[in-house]
Amino acid sequence: MTKFSDLGLGPKVMKAINDVGYDTPTPIQAEAIPYALEGRDVLGIAQTGTGKTAGFTLPMIHKLARGRARARMPRSLVLAPTRELAAQVAENFEQYAKYVKLDMALLIGGVSFKEQDRLIDRGVDVLIATPGRLLDHFERGKLLLTGIEIMVVDEADRMLDMGFIPDIERIFKLTPFTRQTLFFSATMAPEITRITQEFLSNPQRVEVARQATTSENITQKVICFKPENRKVEGKAKRDMLRSLIKQEGDKLTNGIIFCNRKVDVDIVMKSLKKHGHSVGAIHGDLDQRYRMEVLAGFKNNDITLLVASDVAARGLDIPDVTHVFNFDVPIHSEDYVHRIGRTGRAGRKGWAFMMCLPHEQKHLDGIEALVKHEIPRLEMETPKSTRPARKERPKKERAPKPEAAKPAEVKPVEANQAEEKAPKPAQNKQENQNKKPRNPKGQGKAVKGLGDHVPAFLLR
Residue 438: phi, psi to the nearest 5? Answer: -85, 120
pTM for this prediction? 0.67
Three-state secondary structure call for residue 325:
strand
pLDDT-derived band of residue 51, with 50, 70 and 90 as boundaries?
confident
Partners of 185 in beta bridges: 45
Q: Which residues contact 109 (CB under 8 A, 6 or more apart)?
A: 83, 130, 132, 133, 288
Element (H, E) at 157: helix 156-161
Length of the chain: 460
Write the pLDDT tens digit of every residue in 354-390: 999 999 999 999 999 988 889 999 988 766 654 544 5
Q: What is residue 268's predicted lDDT score, i.e. its pLDDT?
A: 95
pLDDT(418) > 50: no
- Judge contact between 185 and 341, C-beta under 8 A: no
Among the listed residues 68, 358, 367, 345, the one whose alpha carbon sits nearest the alpha carbon of residue 218: 345
- Mean predicted lDDT score pLDDT of the chain: 83
Write the pLDDT tens digit of every residue in 231-254: 888 999 999 999 999 999 889 999
pLDDT(409) > 60: no
Write the pLDDT tens digit of every residue in 71-126: 889 999 999 988 888 988 999 999 999 999 999 999 998 888 999 999 999 889 99
pLDDT-derived band of residue 320, with 50, 70 and 90 as boundaries?
confident
Among the listed residues 342, 374, 352, the one whose alpha carbon sits nearest the alpha carbon of residue 361: 374
Tell me how far apart the alpha carbons of residues 73 and 60 are, in angstroms, rounded to a whole number.
Answer: 17
Top pLDDT among 95 and 67 is at 95
Q: Which domains does the chain have, with CATH numbers?
A: 4-207 (3.40.50.300), 218-371 (3.40.50.300)
What letter would DSSP give residue 202?
A: S
Q: What is residue 408's predicted lDDT score, i.e. its pLDDT?
A: 55
Distances (CA, A) of 63 to 10, 106, 150, 203: 9, 20, 9, 18
